[in-house]
């Protein structure tokens, strides 16, 4: 009724800004016709992604779980596993598999070729928004990681972090190779996915329990910070190994050295740059006077991370660490929040959406291997972190169980591993889904377990006090 026939061609006046499809694929004419439909597709995808992230996140919060978990599950629901609203060509989907594309096709009477081109362009745009999301997420994590806090808990946190990386990595990789006869590279990748601890989830749960400033809390947060840095180095190392297809010891050394030099070097250089940054931000008086210089720095570091053959998110994280040391930190953090709020969910939801959980359907016989692997990974993930509590020395009375349990949630970084491993083809579908399930379950289990562990702590410290009184 509103859209009468003669004006079907009228709608596309937003053409110019999108009309840059690869010329080999489309004629200029198709281009001009399809471009606003790509924009429409991106807008609809974002609406679906935001709805999934918000509904999932809020439901998670209501049942007392970290919101990021709900965003991931929301992504699984709207993605390839269930509703097919947000699907991607790289996981084998075609335009016909996408419900959003079906809507666009109904509105616009597209030819199959045009639909495929629009589907690809729209998916690429959403993926680049997701990448910017993960870059901003790591920038924000860097911005929230306090190096000074770390120095207080010193060696304890470092040892907990190192043990918490080494044990799950070694046990996971060895177990996959020896028990499940997995190829070396995917086994290493899956083992590496077991290493990282989520700063965000851990510190949020600790503050909810009122234990953020306790000795245990400080060690956990300190270790989670170091763990995050180690996790990113491990990710860079492992992903590069996956790329070359073999374990080249020089590559490993080069990557560990360059990642460390890059991270520490940028922090040291940052001591000087800090003042320049604050001076610049103070001089600027137009809108975005703080956030734009910060993003110039973050994106340039991300570019540099890529250019020296490491990775974009490592650069963004280093940029965050550097700017965390300025007295603009709080103001900047405040401004980065809304930007992260609208871009980071795109990352989490698309990670969930790209996972096809049907490979873990236990009814299908060939899936049973994946399920067994999944169980194995979860056990290693939990035990590998819990043991870290017993690596603490010279701290009598510390709640070792609570520290270990506090390191369990994998959260964001674990999902980064799954996302990268999945689409690079390193991880086959069962292994990829097994990692996502491991991340979901460790994140699920950590809050109630941590509550239990700290309850024990109260009992223990009470009996300790009694022992002191007796002694």
* Footprint on residues 340-359 left by a second copy (CB under 8 A): 340-342, 345, 350
Candidate ranges 131-139, 170-178, 267-275, 322-330; the one touching a second copy (CB under 8 A): 131-139
User: First-to-last CA distance in the chain?
Assistant: 88
DSSP string, 123-177: HHHHHHHHHHHHHHHHHHHHHH--HHHHHHHHHHHHHHHHHHHHHHHHHHHHHHH
> Helix crossing, 411-423 with 429-470: angle to 10°?
160
Residue 466 binding a second copy, by CB under 8 A: no
Closest CA to 370 of 235, 182, 172: 182
User: Closest distance between a second copy and the C-beta of residue 470, in Å?
Assistant: 46
Candidate ranges 213-221, 251-259, 319-327, 376-384; the one touching a second copy (CB under 8 A): 251-259
Residue 228 binding a second copy, by CB under 8 A: no
Each residue 284-303 as x (binds a second copy by CB under 8 A) or -, in order, gives xxxxx--xxx-xx--xx-xx
Site for a second copy in 155-214 (CB under 8 A): none
User: Closest distance between a second copy and the C-beta of residue 460, in Å?
Assistant: 33
Residue 395 binding a second copy, by CB under 8 A: no
Nearer to a second copy, 109 or 286 (CB): 286
Residues 339/136, Cβ–Cβ less than 8 Å = yes
Residue 63 binding a second copy, by CB under 8 A: no
Among 311, 324, 356, 412, binds a second copy (CB under 8 A): 311
Among 271, 275, 309, 456, binds a second copy (CB under 8 A): 309
Residue 393 binding a second copy, by CB under 8 A: no
Residue 330 binding a second copy, by CB under 8 A: no
User: Closest distance between a second copy and the C-beta of residue 221, in Å?
Assistant: 19
DSSP string, 391-438: G--S-TT--HHHHHHHT---HHHHHHHHHHHHHTTSS-HHHHHHHHHH
Q: How far apart are CA 471 and CA 457, in angstroms?
A: 20
Nearer to a second copy, 61 or 466 (CB): 61
Residues 6+ apart with CB under 8 A from 90: 123, 354, 423
Residue 145 binding a second copy, by CB under 8 A: no
Residues 66/412, Cβ–Cβ less than 8 Å = no
User: Closest distance between a second copy and the C-beta of residue 310, in Å?
Assistant: 7
Candidate ranges 142-150, 161-169, 266-274, 309-317; the one touching a second copy (CB under 8 A): 309-317
Q: How far apart are CA 317 and CA 460, in angstroms?
A: 38
């Amino acid at each position: 009724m509103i859209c009468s026939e003669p004006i079907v061609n009228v709608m596309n006046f937003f053409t110019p800004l999108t009309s840059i499809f690869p010329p080999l694929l489309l004629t200029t004419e198709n281009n001009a016709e399809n471009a606003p439909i790509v924009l429409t597709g991106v807008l609809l995808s974002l609406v679906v992604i935001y709805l999934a992230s918000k509904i999932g996140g809020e439901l998670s919060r209501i049942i007392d779980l970290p919101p990021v978990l709900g965003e991931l599950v929301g992504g699984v629901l709207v993605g390839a596993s269930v509703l097919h609203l947000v699907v991607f060509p790289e996981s084998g989907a075609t335009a016909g598999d996408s419900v959003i594309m079906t809507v666009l096709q109904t509105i616009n009477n597209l030819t199959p070729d045009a639909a495929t081109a629009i589907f690809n362009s729209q998916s690429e745009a959403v993926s680049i928004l997701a990448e910017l999301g993960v870059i901003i997420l790591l920038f924000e994590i860097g911005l929230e990681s306090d190096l000074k806090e770390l120095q207080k808990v010193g060696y304890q946190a470092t040892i907990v972090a190192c043990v918490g990386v080494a044990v799950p990595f070694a046990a996971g990789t060895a177990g996959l190779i020896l028990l499940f006869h997995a190829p070396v590279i995917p086994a290493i990748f899956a083992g590496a996915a077991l290493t990282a601890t989520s700063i965000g989830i851990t510190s949020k749960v600790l503050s909810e329990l009122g234990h953020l400033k306790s000795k245990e809390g400080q060690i956990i947060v300190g270790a989670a910070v170091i763990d995050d840095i180690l996790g990113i180095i491990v990710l860079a190392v492992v992903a590069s190994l996956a790329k070359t297809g073999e374990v080249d010891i020089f590559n490993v050394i080069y990557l560990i050295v360059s990642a460390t030099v890059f991270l520490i070097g940028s922090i040291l250089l940052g001591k000087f740059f800090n003042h320049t940054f604050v001076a610049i931000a103070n001089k600027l008086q137009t809108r975005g006077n703080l956030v734009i210089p910060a993003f110039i720095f973050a994106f340039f570091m991300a570019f540099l991370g890529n250019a020296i053959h490491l990775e974009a998110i490592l650069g963004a994280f280093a940029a965050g660490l550097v700017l965390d040391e300025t007295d603009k930190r709080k103001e900047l953090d405040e401004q980065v929040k809304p930007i992260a709020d609208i871009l980071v969910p795109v990352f989490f939801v698309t990670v969930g959406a790209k996972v096809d959980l049907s490979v873990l359907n236990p009814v299908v016989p060939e899936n049973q291997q994946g399920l067994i692997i999944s169980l194995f990974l979860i056990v290693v993930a939990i035990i590998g972190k819990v043991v870290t509590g017993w690596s603490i020395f010279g701290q009598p009375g510390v709640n070792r169980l609570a520290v270990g349990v506090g390191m369990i949630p994998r959260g964001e970084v674990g999902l980064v591993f799954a996302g990268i491993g999945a689409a690079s083809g390193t991880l086959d579908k069962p292994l990829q889904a097994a990692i996502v399930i491991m991340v979901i379950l460790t994140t699920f289990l950590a809050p109630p377990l941590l509550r239990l562990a700290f309850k024990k702590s109260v009992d223990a410290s009470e009996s300790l006090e009694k022992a002191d009184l007796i002694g």
